[in-house]
Structure 1
Amino acid sequence: MPLEAAARLVSELTSRGYNAEREAVTRLTAAENPNAALERVLEEVPDDALVVRVDHVEAALATTDAGGTTRSDSPASEPAEPTPSVSTGTSETVDSDPTDQSPVETEGSSSIGRSTGPATAERSADPALRSLEITGDMTGESTGTGEYEDFVSVFRDRLDRLGGKLRSRVNHRPATAIQEMPGGSEAAMVGLVNDIRSTASGHWLIELEDATGTFPWLVMKDREYVDLVDELLCDEVLAMEGTLADDSGIAFVDSMYFPDVPRTYEPSTADRHVQAALISDVHVGSQEFMEDAWNAFADWLHTDQAQHVEYMLLAGDMVEGVGVYPDQDEELDIVDIYEQYEAFSEHLKKVPGDIEIVMIPGNHDAVRLAEPQPGFDEELREIMSAHDPQIVSNPSTVTLEGVSVLMYHGVSLDEVIAELPEEKASYDDPHKAMYHLLKKRHVAPQFGGHTRLAPEERDYLVMEEVPDIFHTGHVHKLGFGKYHNVLAINSGCWQAQTDFQKSVNIDPDAGFAPIVDLDTLDVTVQKFS
């Protein structure tokens, strides 16, 4: 199919307020006279249709002659009214907190604004310039049975892969080898944090575990790196160096290392000016779903100000779900889970059809709660087939024109915020909690807590490669910044404050759409509420 012709048809449909199925565009382009076929389709498409479907095209082509021209008895088509739109108005710059300590947080060329005005977008870029690749999608690859061996396998894989990033930095010895070393020896170990506890004297005892056993490491309260202890989570991978006590039963810690993102990391950027909208937590089906804000967002995507937005990444919780928490049914606008997804699909159809969409599930979606979460089953995929979105597992990495985006819904952020001191992780600054996951190179390190984790042969939650962008949702708070040059974004939500959020004093950031320039990694926040 000629890409230029397809792009022209999509642009024309968008300018008239329609989206289109990919196969419908393919069939139009294959017609001998695509423009005439398009006009015939627009004449016959139902008045209430938002999406041009294959059956609309087939019906129109059936009434055109063999030469591809419209039959002479066909009335001339009238251009459709342009879609109402929302565009950026007066902007307010969001400044970095000058009190932030290293790592430096930068928030790019950020703005928040809203105004209204008629306009139509024309995404004129050649579709051949686009590039979208998925890695880490474990949908259909789950092997976990819940047997003991599965748990052993996932933790060994975690230790092998993250430990490999640390062993070159220390003179690593297995736990059993350290136990045999003479007192006063210098020792180093890479292992999983098995236990963290304080002593009667105010020191900290960290027990590391590797494939051979465990060994205790004592962090003295007067050492400067004792501040790192309150960042530790059980089951994360860590390296420690120190000196063995005289009886060799314990080691005094001199330094500790995290897998971390190298401070010299340089992210990749796109070769042209192209943007991606990063959103999450739509929660269709809830009485608090902000339909007007969503419609304003969809309208804005049809405007000239959004002409460079060619990708949309949705990080979970498309719907409110059913039975997620006690008495949830009292707060539902739609009580049937399939009807919730059908309603979500209708809202998705309002997004321009020439925007590439990638979606992962969240904890409110109709998939297993244990992470990693496979993508949706075929029935739900069929319901959400508008725009032919890429539906992948939580987490997954999406590479857009060379820029890698790690998409993770973000349930573990609750645990990070609960376990770490408020000044290091809070709901008001969710991106700072994300920094700690980047530092640990794992999206959900702690096993057995509030975050449900599924044992698999491979730990799909490890950050094997450093992402250029780390995108999460879940906590319904907007926050973004850079950690060692990795852009971390929590994208807020499209749901007004619920009774549960009131009870825990969470005021959501709803109706915001962070827009990322993939060529610069600058962020602009559009507000629609």
Structure 2
Amino acid sequence: MPLETPARIVSELTARGYNAEREAVTLLADAPDTDAALDRALETLPDDALKLRATHVRDALETDGSERSLGDRSLADPAEPESTASPTSDTSVADSATAPDRANGSANTDPDPTVSTGNEPTESSDNATDSPAETKGVGADAAGEDGDIEEVSDGVDFERRATSREIDSDQLSVEIDGDMTGQSTGTGEYNDFVAVFRDRYERLSKQLRGRVNHRPTDALESLPGNEEAAIVGMVSDIRSTASGHWLIELEDTNGTFPTLVMKDRPIADLVAELLLDEVIAVEGTLADDGGILFVDSLHFPDIPRTHEPSTADRPVKAALISDVHVGSQEFKADAWHRFADWLHTDDAEGVEYLLIAGDMVEGVGVYPDQDEELDVIDVYDQYERFSEYLKEVPGDMEIVMIPGNHDAVRLAEPQPAFDSELRQTMSAHDARFTSNPSMVTIEGVSVLMYHGVSLDEVIAELPDEKASYDEPHKAMYHLLKKRHVAPQYGGHTRLAPEKQDYLIIDEVPDVFHAGHVHKLGYGKYHNVLTINSGCWQAQTDFQKSVNIDPDAGFAPIVDLETLELTVRSFG
């Protein structure tokens, strides 16, 4: 039975002079006969009431026996899972068929599912995701620079059922910063590019000038040889010399200046992390003739090691997902149904926010021969279908969405939010729509949402040990280190010239959430919880051709009060 549109219910209530809680609207939309349920709820409402509450709707539904069977599906073709057991913290349930045997102990031959990986010897304790088939719990300090990761097996099959979970909409708090929707001024002319790069340099150089005794390039040219000097500049060229040293040309608003990193210096390894167009600072000694700077130290804008993340002042959680790809033949509808069903259970108590980091739909013409892998050919029909799936999510959850490279917005970053037509299509939950990227603050916890196209660039340019698709969070660490979500221009990432650079990470986020690469990964970098949330699409033929093995059906859940992370598997 198709789910009713909550927007129609709200409109009807408004026409009759009533307001309503979101959960009340969801319950009415889930009823077998929405109109009858609405009439019954209003009949039983006290005369002096102006707001329809979820308790009123439940009482009305229970009274006339019209409460909906919460196992019904609007778009599902699979049958209900055989197992209705709630997930436990010590039992791995691969599928409903094996659940009873494992519960009886006859098939449970797996080792103890709680595994400590130990401290990583690296600077930021990367904590790669070794086994994405299992649920993982990451404590507030567990993924940090001196903590462990605890792996906890969890069930994947859930049946939606009526619960007492209820969200107090008065406590929900979302603030959005950096939304450039409607602010685009770029025309693609030369002056626009000059403006955006000048803005990038000015803002990022301010974060570095306090750490070095910076001098402009034209001032360096007038200094005598053998002088100690420092420069803050944008990387305009990187090349190796015949002797294996590294020549890095830095540019500021006054000109360019060559710097040399000797191959035997400890900082030589940092050269492998550099990308063109990022802003760095170097210190060293000028050559005898003053024409080149021999580098002794190299600095990135970076996240302060002393960063202390903010937390919510009440127990509340957020689900972070991305890359849903509705419209693809490989969209994992079963996994989505299990996820949506779980959100209706007591086990999901406190999960009041859903943040989706782009690629709601598969799109059209994104890659070669994509039409052969589409289940829904028209992109607007894809959004209609996505909206139907979104209706399965509890109606009182606060949802925030940014676009991705498969969505029907401009490809160049920053990407403005969805236009009014698409917003109307996805209006069932009164979601918040903002640009890619955006800083979204939820009850005091700042979440930098970025779809993640530049991760392709980072992974392609940096050595495998520094960034790879298998550990996408490590690539995200480099974006934090550079304080820019897409530092290199002219490669895989399309960048739009604007009067200001909306891709700079001005403020340090508490959580950094991205997607795009379809791989699950998480960890902490200088106390910033960094999450790449995987996807909801099985491997396509195109992905197979480029060796992408996706991690599908995962939902990272962040406890905003503690910043503890739990990754739930619904695949």
- Regarding TM over 0.5, the answer is yes
Q: Residues 499-514 of structure 1 correspond to what in structure 2 (within 5 A)?
A: 499-514=541-556
Deviations 1:66-97 (A, max 9, x none): 95899xxx996214145247843336446546
The structural deviation recorded for 1:326 is 1.3
Q: Is 1:102 the equivalent of 2:89?
A: no
2:155 equivalent in structure 1: 114
The number of residues matched between the two structures is 501
Q: Aligned pair in 2 of structure 1 residues 292, 61: CA closer, same or farther (>3 Å)?
A: closer
Deviations 1:493-520 (A, max 9, x none): 0000011111122210001111111111
Give the Cα–Cα distance (whole angstroms) in 1 for the partners of residues 553 and 440 of structure 2. Answer: 24
Q: Aligned pair in 2 of structure 1 residues 25, 265: CA closer, same or farther (>3 Å)?
A: farther
2:80 equivalent in structure 1: none
Q: Is 1:77 the equivalent of 2:64?
A: yes
Are the counterparts in 2 of residues 22 and 388 from structure 1 also a CA contact under 8 Å? Answer: no
Q: Aligned pair in 2 of structure 1 residues 64, 297: CA closer, same or farther (>3 Å)?
A: closer
User: Letter of the aligned partner of 2:389 in structure 1?
Assistant: H
Give the Cα–Cα distance (whole angstroms) in 2 for the partners of residues 419 and 285 of structure 1. Answer: 32
The structural deviation recorded for 1:26 is 10
Give the Cα–Cα distance (whole angstroms) in 1 for the partners of residues 294 and 482 of structure 2. Answer: 22
Q: Aligned pair in 2 of structure 1 residues 386, 360: CA closer, same or farther (>3 Å)?
A: same
**The residue matched to 2:336 in structure 1 has which SS?**
helix
Q: Aligned pair in 2 of structure 1 residues 213, 24: CA closer, same or farther (>3 Å)?
A: same
1:356 equivalent in structure 2: 398
- State percent identity of aligned pairs: 65
Stretches of structure 2 lacking an aligned partner (at least 5 in a row): 50-55, 72-83, 93-112, 128-137, 140-149
2:297 is aligned, of 255, 267, 278, to 255
User: Letter of the aligned partner of 2:249 in structure 1?
Assistant: E
Are the counterparts in 1 of residues 158 and 338 from structure 2 also a CA contact under 8 Å? Answer: no
User: Letter of the aligned partner of 1:102 in structure 2?
Assistant: E
Deviations 1:190-212 (A, max 9, x none): 01000000000000001000000
Give the Cα–Cα distance (whole angstroms) in 1 for the partners of residues 30 and 549 of structure 2. Answer: 43
Give the Cα–Cα distance (whole angstroms) in 2 for the partners of residues 341 and 327 of structure 1. Answer: 21
**The residue matched to 2:523 in structure 1 has which SS?**
strand
Give the Cα–Cα distance (whole angstroms) in 2 for the partners of residues 500 and 47 of structure 1. Answer: 41
The structural deviation recorded for 1:272 is 1.2
Are the counterparts in 2 of residues 87 and 115 from structure 1 also a CA contact under 8 Å? Answer: no
The structural deviation recorded for 1:27 is 3.8
Q: Aligned pair in 2 of structure 1 residues 75, 412: CA closer, same or farther (>3 Å)?
A: closer
Q: Residues 301-312 of structure 1 correspond to what in structure 2 (within 5 A)?
A: 301-312=343-354
Q: Is 1:411 the equivalent of 2:453?
A: yes
1:461 is aligned, of 497, 503, 512, to 503
1:172 is aligned, of 210, 214, 234, to 214
Give the Cα–Cα distance (whole angstroms) in 2 for the partners of residues 436 and 33 of structure 1. Answer: 47
1:47 is aligned, of 22, 27, 32, to 32
Q: Is 1:528 the equivalent of 2:570?
A: yes
Q: Aligned pair in 2 of structure 1 residues 467, 93: CA closer, same or farther (>3 Å)?
A: farther
Give the Cα–Cα distance (whole angstroms) in 1 for the partners of residues 274 and 530 of structure 2. Answer: 20
Give the Cα–Cα distance (whole angstroms) in 1 for the partners of residues 283 and 422 of structure 2. Answer: 50
Q: Aligned pair in 2 of structure 1 residues 127, 223: CA closer, same or farther (>3 Å)?
A: same
The structural deviation recorded for 1:48 is 7.4
**The residue matched to 1:490 in structure 2 has which SS?**
strand
TM-score by length of 1: 0.88
Q: Residues 85-484 of structure 1 correspond to what in structure 2 (within 5 A)?
A: 87-89=86-88, 90=91, 92-93=113-114, 95-96=116-117, 98-105=119-126, 107-108=138-139, 111-116=152-157, 118=159, 119-484=161-526
The structural deviation recorded for 1:104 is 2.7
User: Letter of the aligned partner of 2:539 in structure 1?
Assistant: Q
Q: Aligned pair in 2 of structure 1 residues 32, 180: CA closer, same or farther (>3 Å)?
A: closer
* Alpha-carbon RMSD: 3.1
**The residue matched to 1:103 in structure 2 has which SS?**
coil
**The residue matched to 1:353 in structure 2 has which SS?**
coil
The structural deviation recorded for 1:472 is 0.2
Give the Cα–Cα distance (whole angstroms) in 1 for the partners of residues 232 and 292 of structure 2. Answer: 15
**The residue matched to 1:379 in structure 2 has which SS?**
helix
User: Letter of the aligned partner of 1:426 in structure 2?
Assistant: S
More divergent stretch after superposition (113-122 vs 135-144): 113-122
The structural deviation recorded for 1:19 is 8.3
User: Letter of the aligned partner of 1:209 in structure 2?
Assistant: E
Give the Cα–Cα distance (whole angstroms) in 2 for the partners of residues 269 and 165 of structure 1. Answer: 25
2:10 equivalent in structure 1: 24
**The residue matched to 2:209 in structure 1 has which SS?**
coil
Q: Aligned pair in 2 of structure 1 residues 94, 336: CA closer, same or farther (>3 Å)?
A: farther
Are the counterparts in 2 of residues 19 and 353 from structure 1 also a CA contact under 8 Å? Answer: no
Q: Aligned pair in 2 of structure 1 residues 442, 411: CA closer, same or farther (>3 Å)?
A: same
Give the Cα–Cα distance (whole angstroms) in 1 for the partners of residues 241 and 217 of structure 2. Answer: 22
Give the Cα–Cα distance (whole angstroms) in 2 for the partners of residues 165 and 75 of structure 1. Answer: 60
User: Letter of the aligned partner of 1:113 in structure 2?
Assistant: D
Are the counterparts in 2 of residues 33 and 68 from structure 1 also a CA contact under 8 Å? Answer: no
Give the Cα–Cα distance (whole angstroms) in 1 for the partners of residues 12 and 562 of structure 2. Answer: 33
Are the counterparts in 2 of residues 86 and 299 from structure 1 also a CA contact under 8 Å? Answer: no
**The residue matched to 2:64 in structure 1 has which SS?**
coil
The structural deviation recorded for 1:32 is 8.1
